[in-house]
């Protein structure tokens, strides 16, 4: 619809001005159906260029519009110069046929065509299983990547981790202590050791494979390595269960090994942006608007998170990505601006790096915080949550609210078996259409569909809703907000239910029945395409 309207507006513009540097024609859906099906503010945007009153420009455009009356039933000027369009059924029928033809590709656009985009998400160090806290990060990052792919981008999913430093040393010491305990030996428990049952499982694997040969091993490297491998196996299985695949795993240690971290400090020194004080290395972040300078290397010689992160993002940009999106929890809001300042200081275009911040998740049941029983220390693993409510429900609930809002994950609602469960509401709509189709194939008289028979308000309203799908996908990608797609799919399901209530499929004249069934098949396709983007199954039976 927007393509057709844009083309006729462009033709009208060519008749009223020879200017070539003109604003983009934006077509939007009016908030109120009373104002038509589509509207543009191009007349107001042209006021300065054409040095004329917006309403006068709007009138000139309307006077010069050439369109098929079977496609457009009315054009009106409203307010300060909006041009409102009313779409005729003929255009709806034409576009409905295009949906049928596009099938599983309907909704795909070239909005980000040729763009090379990286989405970095999850990025949990291999010190334990993925928890509910990681779940929102994982699903949000993967779905944003899917949205970009549907808009034509080439997307890399990357997992950034650190398998060095104190955390990993303590992990190795924890496994060693449990291993010795399994041998009946006395073991000193490390300060801040990892106490989850998974540590005992790793230690038991070592005992089974090495027996007592590691009893006198003082170097924790073998224990750390075993833990890292076991935990990453667990993490990858969890991600796979969530329908998430990673293209790359990037080890933070590599930016130390290749000298990138030292080079960052040296480059900042050369620009008088790094200095030594009190045994530490400081970054002059006051040059970038902060009240105080920031420590890059502590007096102990240990770098702060900012330093390897600057080197890592420098590596990303060197790889040629047009856009790098980091999915981070709200606790990173204060530290990440220093990374951006570091990139700017090193001469990189920091607009090529974007942070998608999400708020945290609270498990709830009956209005109260809910703690599931767990054998994984004092946290709930993502696997345990999926065991409780299922994979589809888990993904859906992590996506159903804006990333900017705190998410209360209601266990009771998630376990609801009927249409009160928001993900089942969409899946039931899809399954119901396939149930109708099976009955139709078995009993209905065969006939060719004729979309011109669709005249009922509920039919036309349903078609208009389906036509919004590509724009919704593009908007969700533009704003990095998958919940926009969920809201839209709810509108599709609601429009389907109204149509089904108002319009019979079976028992009508054969051609009308076949046409309405063809309409329902397009509804099914849109629901399936949308659920695919969300990483959720679209069952044909429930």
pLDDT digits (tens, 9 = 90+) for 415-424: 998 888 999 9
Which residue matches tokens 């993900």?
Answer: 423
For residue range 48-97, list pLDDT tens digits in order.
999 999 999 999 999 999 999 999 999 999 999 999 999 999 999 999 99
For residue 467, give both structure tokens: 């036509």
Residue 449 CA: distances (Å) to CA of 190, 499, 514: 73, 17, 5
- The contacts of residue 412 (CB under 8 Å, 6+ apart) are 365, 366
pLDDT tens readout for residues 521-530: 999 999 999 9
Question: CA separation (Å) from 153 to 357, 362, 514?
Answer: 21, 33, 37
| pLDDT for 419 | 83
pLDDT digit string, tens, across residues 8-31? 999 999 999 988 889 999 999 998
Q: Which of 62, 82, 60, 59 is nearest to 72 (CA)?
A: 62
Average pLDDT over residues 397-420: 92
Around Cβ 305, how many Cβ atoms within 10 Å?
15
Does the pLDDT of residue 32 top 90, yes or no?
Answer: no
> How far, in Å, CA of 176 to CA of 39, rounded?
68
Average pLDDT over residues 366-384: 73
Point out the least confidently predicted range of 102-111, 325-334, 464-473: 325-334
Q: Burial, 407: exposed, middle or buried (Cβ in 10 Å; 0-12, 13-18, 19+)?
A: buried
User: Is residue 305 a contact partner of residue 335, using CB atoms and an 8 Å limit?
Assistant: yes
- Please tell me the distance from the alpha carbon of residue 324 to that of residue 320, in angstroms, as a whole number: 10
Long-range contacts of 284-291 (CB under 8 A, 24+ apart): 285/338, 285/341, 287/341, 288/337, 288/341, 288/344, 288/345, 290/337, 290/338, 290/341
Distance set, CA 62 to CA 10, 14, 71, 419, 434 (Å): 12, 13, 15, 46, 44
Rounded CA separation 68/469 (Å): 24
Length in residues, the chain: 542
pLDDT at 479 (0 to 100): 98
Q: Are 88 and 70 in contact (CB under 8 A)?
A: yes
| DSSP bridge partners of 275 | 282
Residue ranges of E strands in 237-360: 248-251, 274-277, 280-283, 294-297, 323-329, 353-358
What angle, rounded to 10 degrees, do the helices at 132-150 and 382-389 form?
80
Instruction: Look at the block and give the residue holding tokens 């009946």.
Output: 184
The DSSP H or E segment spanning 201 is helix 197-210
Mean per-residue pLDDT, 373-379: 56
pLDDT tens for each residue of 483-521 = 999 999 999 999 999 999 999 999 899 999 999 999 999
Q: Which of 530, 527, 521 is nearest to 97 (CA)?
A: 521
The whole-angstrom separation of Cα 348 and Cα 103 is 42
Cβ partners under 8 Å of residue 418, min gap 6? 424
DSSP structure string for 42-89:
HHHHTHHHHTS-HHHHHHHHHHH----TTTEEEEEEETTTEEEEEE-H
Domain boundaries, the chain: 2-87, 116-162+246-358, 166-241, 419-533
Decide: helix, strand or coil at residue 33. Answer: helix
Q: Which residues pair with residue 355 across a beta bridge?
A: 326
Structure token digits, residue 79: 């307010």
Among 344, 380, 348, which Cα is nearest to 365's?
A: 380
Here the tokens at position 379 are: 């946290």
Q: What is the arithmetic mean of pLDDT over 220-226?
A: 96
- Distance between CA 48 and CA 533 in Å, rounded? 41
pLDDT computed for residue 206 by the predictor: 96
Residue 82 CA: distances (Å) to CA of 18, 69, 76, 205, 352: 22, 20, 8, 70, 35
Of the candidates 482, 466, 441, which has an alpha carbon nearest to the alpha carbon of residue 519? 466
Report H helices in 271-350.
306-318, 336-345
Average pLDDT, the chain: 94
Pick the CATH number of 2-87 from 3.30.70.100, 3.30.1360.70, 1.20.1740.10, 3.40.1080.10: 3.30.1360.70
Count of C-beta atoms within a 10 Å radius of residue 318: 10
Terminal-residue alpha carbon distance, the chain: 34
Rounded Cα–Cα distance for residues 250 and 318 (Å): 14
Provide mean pLDDT across the span 110-128.
96
What pLDDT digit, counting tens, does each position of 134-162 carry?
Answer: 999 999 999 999 999 999 999 999 999 99
Q: What is the pLDDT of residue 375?
A: 46
CATH number for the region 116-162+246-358 comes to: 3.40.50.620
40 has a pLDDT exceeding 70: yes
Q: Has residue 3 got a pLDDT over 70?
A: yes
Q: What is the pLDDT of residue 19?
A: 85
Helix (H) or strand (E) holding 78: strand 72-78
Which tokens is 316 given?
């990303």
- Give strand pairing partners of 324: 118, 353
CA distances from 429 to 53, 424, 487, 489, 530 (A): 49, 8, 15, 10, 13
Closest CA relative to residue 369, chosen from 410, 309, 310: 410
Q: Give the pLDDT band of residue 377 (cuts 50, 70, 90).
A: low
Q: What is the pLDDT of residue 374?
A: 47
Stronger pLDDT, 334 or 7, i.e. the higher one: 7
3-state DSSP call for residue 215? coil
Q: Is the pLDDT of residue 376 over 60?
A: no
Q: Would you tell me which CATH number, out of the four given (1.20.1740.10, 1.10.730.10, 3.40.50.720, 3.30.565.10), belongs to the domain 419-533?
A: 1.10.730.10
Both tokens assigned to 224: 């750390």
DSSP letter string, 477-520: HHHT-THHHHHHHHHHHHHHHHHHHHS-STTS-HHHHHHHHHHH
Mean pLDDT of 534-539: 98
Work out the percent of the chain whose per-residue pLDDT is above 90.
89
Q: What is the pLDDT of residue 116?
A: 98
């Amino acid at each position: 619809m927007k393509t057709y309207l844009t083309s006729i507006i462009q033709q009208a513009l060519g008749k009223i001005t020879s200017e070539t540097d003109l604003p983009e024609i934006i077509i939007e859906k009016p908030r109120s159906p009373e104002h038509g099906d589509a509207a543009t503010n191009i007349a107001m945007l042209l006021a300065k260029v054409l040095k004329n009153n917006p309403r006068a420009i709007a009138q000139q455009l309307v006077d010069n519009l050439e369109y098929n009356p079977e496609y457009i039933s009315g054009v009106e000027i409203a307010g300060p110069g909006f041009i409102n369009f009313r779409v005729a059924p003929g255009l709806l029928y034409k576009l409905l046929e295009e949906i049928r033809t596009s099938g599983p590709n309907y909704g795909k656009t070239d909005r980000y065509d040729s763009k090379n985009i990286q989405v970095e998400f999850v990025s949990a160090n291999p010190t334990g299983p993925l928890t509910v806290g990681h779940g929102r990060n994982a699903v949000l990052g993967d779905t944003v990547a899917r949205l970009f792919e549907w808009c034509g981008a080439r997307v890399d999913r990357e997992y950034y981790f650190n398998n060095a430093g104190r955390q990993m040393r303590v992990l190795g010491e924890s496994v060693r202590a449990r291993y010795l305990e399994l041998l009946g030996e006395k073991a000193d428990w490390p300060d801040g050791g990892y106490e989850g049952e998974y540590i005992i499982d790793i230690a038991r694997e070592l005992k089974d494979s090495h027996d007592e040969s590691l009893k006198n091993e003082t170097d924790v490297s073998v224990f750390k390595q075993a833990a890292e491998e076991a935990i990453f196996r667990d993490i990858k299985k969890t991600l796979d269960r969530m329908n998430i695949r990673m293209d790359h795993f990037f080890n933070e240690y590599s930016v130390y090994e290749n000298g990138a971290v030292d080079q960052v400090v040296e480059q900042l020194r050369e620009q008088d942006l790094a200095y030594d004080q009190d045994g530490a290395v400081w970054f002059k972040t006051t040059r970038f608007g902060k009240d105080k300078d920031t420590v890059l290397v502590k007096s102990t010689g240990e770098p702060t998170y900012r330093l390897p992160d600057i080197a890592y993002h420098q590596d990303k940009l060197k790889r040629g990505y047009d856009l790098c999106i980091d999915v981070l929890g709200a606790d990173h809001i204060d530290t990440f601006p220093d990374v951006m300042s570091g990139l700017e200081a090193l001469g990189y275009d920091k607009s090529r790096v974007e942070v998608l911040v999400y708020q945290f998740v609270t498990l709830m049941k009956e209005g109260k915080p809910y703690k599931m029983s767990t054998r994984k220390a004092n946290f709930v693993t993502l696997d345990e949550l999926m065991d409780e409510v299922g994979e589809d429900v888990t993904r859906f609930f992590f996506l159903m609210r804006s990333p900017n809002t705190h998410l209360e994950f209601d266990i009771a609602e998630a376990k609801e078996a009927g249409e009160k469960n928001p993900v089942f509401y969409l899946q039931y709509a899809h399954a119901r259409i396939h149930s109708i189709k099976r009955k139709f194939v078995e009993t209905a008289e065969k006939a060719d569909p004729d979309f011109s028979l669709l005249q009922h308000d509920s039919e036309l309203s349903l078609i208009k809703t389906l036509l919004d799908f590509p724009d919704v996908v593009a908007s969700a990608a533009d704003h990095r907000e998958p919940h926009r797609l969920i809201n839209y799919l709810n509108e599709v399901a609601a429009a389907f239910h109204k149509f089904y209530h108002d319009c019979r499929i079976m028992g009508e004249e054969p051609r009308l029945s076949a046409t309405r069934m063809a309409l329902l098949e397009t509804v099914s396709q849109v629901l399936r395409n949308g659920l695919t983007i969300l990483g959720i199954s679209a069952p044909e039976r429930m």
